Structure 1
């Protein structure tokens, strides 16, 4: 099993969720996050309530850029399929498209009925 962590643009979360659902992976965790990389702003993609932050966005500079972090655990044999699907949906060819991290998972346990391993995630 592997955990796939993907940091994506906020405006791509719905389409990403729909594609993962169509592939048979409706279960995921999505969290709003802020971070920094080479991208300095998201012009025209988000509306920030704070006027100072809005001014920095219009000028092309933000202290932290809002993103969405999605996490899902999948069987080893489906990792490449899921990663390629996330990449296809989220690639605009511009700085800020995101990052994907793949981490090993030793075990999993479903709290409700104590299923373990792959049975706990499917």
Structure 2
């Protein structure tokens, strides 16, 4: 099994969720996160006022950029499909398209039924 962690633009989360659901991967965890990389701002993408002025250091620049982080666990053989699908939905060709991390998962357990391995994630 693989855990896929993707950090994407906030305006791409709904389309990403729709595509993963259509592929048969409806289960995911999503969080609003702030981070930084090469991207300095997200002009025209954020439709809310930044309340914490420490997040912005000057006009057109932000110390931390709002993003969405999704995480899902998939069988090994589906990891490439999921990664490619996330990339296809989120690629704009601009700095700030995001990052995807693929991590090995040793075990998974469904709490309610005690199912383990892939049975716990499917």
Q: Per the shorter chain, which TM-score range?
A: over 0.9
How far has the Cα of 1:8 moved from its partner? 0.1
Compute the TM-score of the two structures, normalised by the length of structure 1: 0.93
Give the whole-Å Cα distance in 2 for the aligned partners of 1:73 and 1:27. Answer: 8
How far has the Cα of 1:85 moved from its partner? 0.2
Residue in structure 2 matched with residue 20 of structure 1 by the alignment? 20
What is the alpha-carbon root mean square deviation over aligned residues? 1.7
> Structure 1 or 2: larger helix share?
1
**Cα gap change, 1:51 to 1:42, in 2 (>3 Å):** same
Q: Secondary structure at the match of 2:92?
A: coil
Q: Secondary structure at the match of 1:115?
A: coil
Give the whole-Å Cα distance in 1 for the aligned partners of 2:72 and 2:54. Answer: 31
Q: How does 1:35-50 map to 2 (within 5 A)?
A: 35-46=35-46, 47-50=48-51
Q: Secondary structure at the match of 2:95?
A: coil
Give the gaps of 5 or more residues in structure 1: none
Structure 1 residues 44-80: Cα deviation after superposition (integer angstroms, max 9, x where no partner) = 11122438579757x3210100000000000000000
Question: How many pairs does the alignment contain?
Answer: 121
Structure 1 segments of 4 or more deviating over 3 A?
A: 51-57
